[in-house]
Structure 1
Amino acid sequence: MDFSYRQEEEDFRRVVREWVDQEVPKSWARELERNEHHYPFDLWDKFTEAGFHGIGIDEAYGGSGGDVVVQMIVARELARSLAGLTWIWGITSFAGGKSIGLYGSEEQKRRFLPEIVAGKARFSIGFTEPGGGTDLLGAMRTSARKVDGGWVVNGHKTWCSASHVADYILLLARTDSAVEKRHQGLSLFVLPAKSQGVTIREIPKLGMRAMGSCDVFLDDAFIPDELLLGEPGEAWYMLLPTLNNERIMLSSFCLGILDGVLEDALEYMTHREAFGHTIGQFQALQHYIANIAMSRKQAELCVMEAATLQAHGKPAGIEATMAKVIASEAAVNAADLGIQILGGMGYAAETDMQRYWRDARLFRIGPVTNEMARNIIAENLGLPRSF
C-alpha cells in the first residue's frame, strides 16, 4: 500500500512546517516550559490565528474540514518543536471538535463548534479516576444523578490536562449502577469548568509543565440536560470509535518528537568537535543516528497505515494501537539516545533533548499503557483475555 502524502497534503505539510519555524520555534517552547505554572495563552492564540482549531470540524460550523491524515500532519509538525505542548491544540481538537462533532445534537454542534474554531472554547477531558489509570471502568466512582432539568454530579477526576484554564470538561460519569456489565450505564457530559461545586487543583509533574494537569473535584455540581452528549447510558459505545483517532494523534506527536530529536542530533554532531574531529565521525554515534532514523521510519509507516485506514472508513483499531506502542517507545528511546549524543548538553535545560524525553515518556503510559495495549493486540491474535 502507498502511504505517501497526496500533493495537496504535502503542500499543506510544508506550510505548517514553515509556520512552526517562524511562530513557535524550539527556543520559544523552552521558554514556555521555564514558566511552568503559567499556561501559554499566547500559544493558544497563535493556533487560533493560524486556523488550526478548525481542522477536522465541518465547514458548516465554520471549520476547515480535513480527515485524520490532515490532523496527523498538524500534530507531527507542531510536535517537532512543541513536543508535548502540542496537546494544547490536541485536547480541544479531540474532546471538543471530535466528540461533539460525532455525537452532539445539531443544537450542540451549532453552539460549541463555531466557538472552538474561533478559539473561544477550551476543553479538557475528565475520564481518569484516582487509583484507576488504565482500569477506567473498574475505578469509576463519579456518578451523575438525574434531577429536574439536569444532573447532579459527585466524584473525583484526575490527570485532566489544562482543566484549570478550560471552559468545558468532557466528563464521563456513571448514571446507572443497576447494570450487568461495567461498561453499561455510563454517560458523557459537557461540564462547564467554572460551575459551582467544581474545584480544580494542579498536579506537579515531569513533563508538559506549562500546560498543566489537574485533579477535578465534583461536589454536587449541576449539569443541565442540554449538556448531556448523546443518549444517557451509552457513553462507552460512543467513546470506542474515537479511541483510534486519539491513538493516531498521540502517535503523530511521537513522530514529531522523533523528527525534532533527529534534527537536533544531526546538527550537534556536525558542529561539535572532540579529539580533533567532529563527533559525527564517531562510529558509535553514527549507529545511534541510524537507530533513530530506522525507528522513525518504522513508526511513520505504522502511523500512516492507521491514519489511511481510518480516513477511508476501514477498521483500524489494532493498527492504531500498534502505532501508539511503536511510536511512543521509539520517541522515548530516540530522545534518550539524543541526550547521550549531546552528552552534558543533552541534560541541560538550554537544549531540547531533555524536554523531548520528559514529554515523550508520558506517551508510554497514557491514554492507555503500552502493557495494556499489548494485551489488546495479543487478544486480537486469538489469545485469552488477560485483564
Structure 2
Amino acid sequence: MDFSLTEEQESFRKMVRAWVEKECPKDVALEMEKQEFQYPHELFDKMAEAGFHGIAIDEAYGGSGGTELDQVILIRELSRSLGGQAWIWGINAFAGAKSVGYYGTEEQKKRFLPEIADGKAKFAIAVTEPAGGTDLLGVLKTTATQVDGGWRINGQKIWSTQAHVADYLLLLARSEKDVAKKTQGTTLFLVPRESAGLETRQIPKLGMKNVGSCEVFLDDVFVPDELVLGEPGQAWYMLLKTLNNERIIMAALALGILDGVIEEALRYLDEREVFGKKLGQMQVLQHYVADMLIAQKNAELLVYNAAWRQSQGLECGMEANMAKVVASEGAVSAADHGIQMFGGMGYALETQMQRYWRDARLYKIGPIANEMARNSIAEMAGLPRSF
C-alpha cells in the first residue's frame, strides 16, 4: 500500500509551492484579504496564466488533464498561503469544470470547458435558500417554469460565492410540483449572471472578506433550453457528485490552512523568548503542536482517500463527509491554538493566525454543517435517518 505522491504529482506540488511563494506569499495574501468586497480578479487571472483552471479538465476540451487528486494537491498548496481566498479557484473547479464535465452534453463541454480552462469564465453555485440552509430540497422554493424555447425562473438563493462576478450560476430549481419524492422534479441550470431580472447582493462576512458571498434574486429570469445542465427533473441525483467534489476540495483547502498554521506556529515558537528560554520549550505548547500534526495527518489521509475514490468512479459520499469534518475541525482547532500561542499578538489583524481562524471557521458550517455531515455518515452506516 503506497501513500506517497507519484513523481509527477510531487513535481506538480513543488511547482505550485514555488508559484505561491512568488505570486501570493502569506504577507500578500493578508493584505489582499483586508480589501472587503474587492474581488481578487488579478489573482484569478494569474491562476489562469499558470494553467491552474485547466486542472482536471480533459485535454480534449483545452484542459491540462489530471484527476480529483490533482485538484486536492493544487488547492492544498494554494490555501497554505491564501487561506479561504483559494476558494476563487475551488468554486470554479467544482461548480464549473467538474459539473459541466460530469453531466454536460458534448456541446456544453465544447462550449464551456475551454473557457473555464483559459480563465475566461467564472462560475458560482446557487443552491442554498434563505429559509433552509442545508435542507436544500425541503425548502426549495425557486421554481423553473417551461416556456417556449426555455424556462422562466423565480426565487431567491443565498451564500452563492462569487455570484456577483460570475459569468454563470449553477442553479437548482424545482421544475415539477407534483412529485412522489422531494428528490424528484428538480433541474439544474447554467444561468447567465447578466440575465434580465437577476440581481446579486454581497453579504458582509467574518472571513474571506474579498471573496464575495451573495444573495441572489431571480425575477422571471429566462434561461434557454441549451443552458439546462443534464436531464430535466433529475438534478438532485446528478448534483450529489458535484457536492461530493465540493466537500473534497473544501477539505483539502482546510488541510492547506492546517499546513500554514503549523508553519506559523513553529516559526513563532522558535523566534519568541520568554522567561529566558525559547517559547517552543514550553511543554503545553509542544502538545498543541503535536495535536496540530496529528490533525494534519488524519485530514491528509482522509482527504486523499476521498479524492482517490472519486477519481476511480467509486462511491465517496461518506468519505467526502469524513474528510470535510476532520479537516475543518482540525484547521479551526489548530488556528485557535495558534492564536493562543501568539498571546496578545494573535488577536492583532497584522498576524496570519487570525486570518486562518476566520477563514477556517466557516468550514465547520458550509457547504454542509458538520452536525449534518455526521448525521449522513451515521445513516450511511445503516442507522435510521435522523432528519
| TM-score category (smaller protein) | over 0.9
Q: What's the CA shift for 1:304?
A: 1.6
Q: What's the CA shift for 1:378?
A: 1.0
Q: 1:33-72 counterparts in 2 under 5 A? A: 33-72=33-72
Q: What's the CA shift for 1:307?
A: 1.7
Secondary structure in 1 matching 2:307: helix
Distance in structure 1 (CA, Å) of the matches to 2:380 and 2:214: 34
AA of the residue aligned to 1:189? F
AA of the residue aligned to 1:327? A
8 Å Cα contact 2:255/2:296 also seen in 1: yes
How big is each residue's C-alpha offset from its partner over 1:226-250, in whole Å with a ceiling of 9 and x where there is no partner? Answer: 1011111010111112232111111
Q: What's the CA shift for 1:295?
A: 1.0
Q: What's the CA shift for 1:314?
A: 2.4
AA of the residue aligned to 1:320? A
8 Å Cα contact 1:3/1:305 also seen in 2: no
Distance in structure 1 (CA, Å) of the matches to 2:274 and 2:268: 12
Q: Is it true that 1:156 corresponds to 2:159 in the alignment?
A: no
8 Å Cα contact 1:122/1:166 also seen in 2: yes
Matched residue count: 387
Q: 1:162-173 counterparts in 2 under 5 A? A: 162-173=162-173
8 Å Cα contact 1:103/1:229 also seen in 2: yes
AA of the residue aligned to 1:337? H
8 Å Cα contact 2:95/2:242 also seen in 1: no
Per the alignment, residue 326 of structure 1 pairs with 326
Secondary structure in 2 matching 1:2: coil
Secondary structure in 2 matching 1:210: coil
AA of the residue aligned to 1:321? N
Distance in structure 2 (CA, Å) of the matches to 1:285 and 1:153: 54
Q: 1:303-382 counterparts in 2 under 5 A? A: 303-382=303-382
Distance in structure 1 (CA, Å) of the matches to 2:15 and 2:46: 15
Distance in structure 1 (CA, Å) of the matches to 2:314 and 2:233: 27
8 Å Cα contact 2:91/2:123 also seen in 1: yes
Distance in structure 2 (CA, Å) of the matches to 1:117 and 1:251: 23
Per the alignment, residue 22 of structure 1 pairs with 22
Distance in structure 2 (CA, Å) of the matches to 1:346 and 1:169: 38
Per the alignment, residue 79 of structure 1 pairs with 79
Q: What's the CA shift for 1:2?
A: 2.5
AA of the residue aligned to 1:224? P
Q: Name whichever of 371-380 and 184-193 sits farther off.
A: 371-380
Distance in structure 2 (CA, Å) of the matches to 1:318 and 1:236: 17
Distance in structure 1 (CA, Å) of the matches to 2:22 and 2:265: 21
Secondary structure in 1 matching 2:138: helix
How big is each residue's C-alpha offset from its partner over 1:193-240, in whole Å with a ceiling of 9 and x where there is no partner? Answer: 011000111111111110110000000111011101111101011111
Secondary structure in 2 matching 1:163: coil
8 Å Cα contact 1:252/1:303 also seen in 2: yes
Q: 1:189-200 counterparts in 2 under 5 A? A: 189-200=189-200
How big is each residue's C-alpha offset from its partner over 1:60-104, in whole Å with a ceiling of 9 and x where there is no partner? Answer: 111001111111000100000011111101111111100011111
Q: Name whichever of 256-265 and 239-248 sits farther off.
A: 239-248
Q: Is it true that 1:231 corresponds to 2:231 in the alignment?
A: yes
AA of the residue aligned to 1:107? E
The CA RMSD over aligned residues, in Å, is 0.9
Secondary structure in 2 matching 1:254: helix
Secondary structure in 2 matching 1:377: helix
User: What runs of 5+ residues in structure 1 fail to find an aligned partner?
Assistant: none
AA of the residue aligned to 1:267? R
8 Å Cα contact 2:37/2:202 also seen in 1: no
How big is each residue's C-alpha offset from its partner over 1:353-383, in whole Å with a ceiling of 9 and x where there is no partner? Answer: 1111111111111111110111111112221
8 Å Cα contact 1:75/1:249 also seen in 2: yes
Distance in structure 2 (CA, Å) of the matches to 1:2 and 1:139: 44
User: What runs of 5+ residues in structure 2 fail to find an aligned partner?
Assistant: none
* 4+ aligned runs moved over 3 Å, structure 1: none
Distance in structure 2 (CA, Å) of the matches to 1:283 and 1:336: 18
TM-score normalised by the chain length of structure 2: 0.98
How big is each residue's C-alpha offset from its partner over 1:153-190, in whole Å with a ceiling of 9 and x where there is no partner? Answer: 10000001011111110110010011011110000000
Distance in structure 2 (CA, Å) of the matches to 1:181 and 1:248: 28
8 Å Cα contact 2:126/2:160 also seen in 1: yes
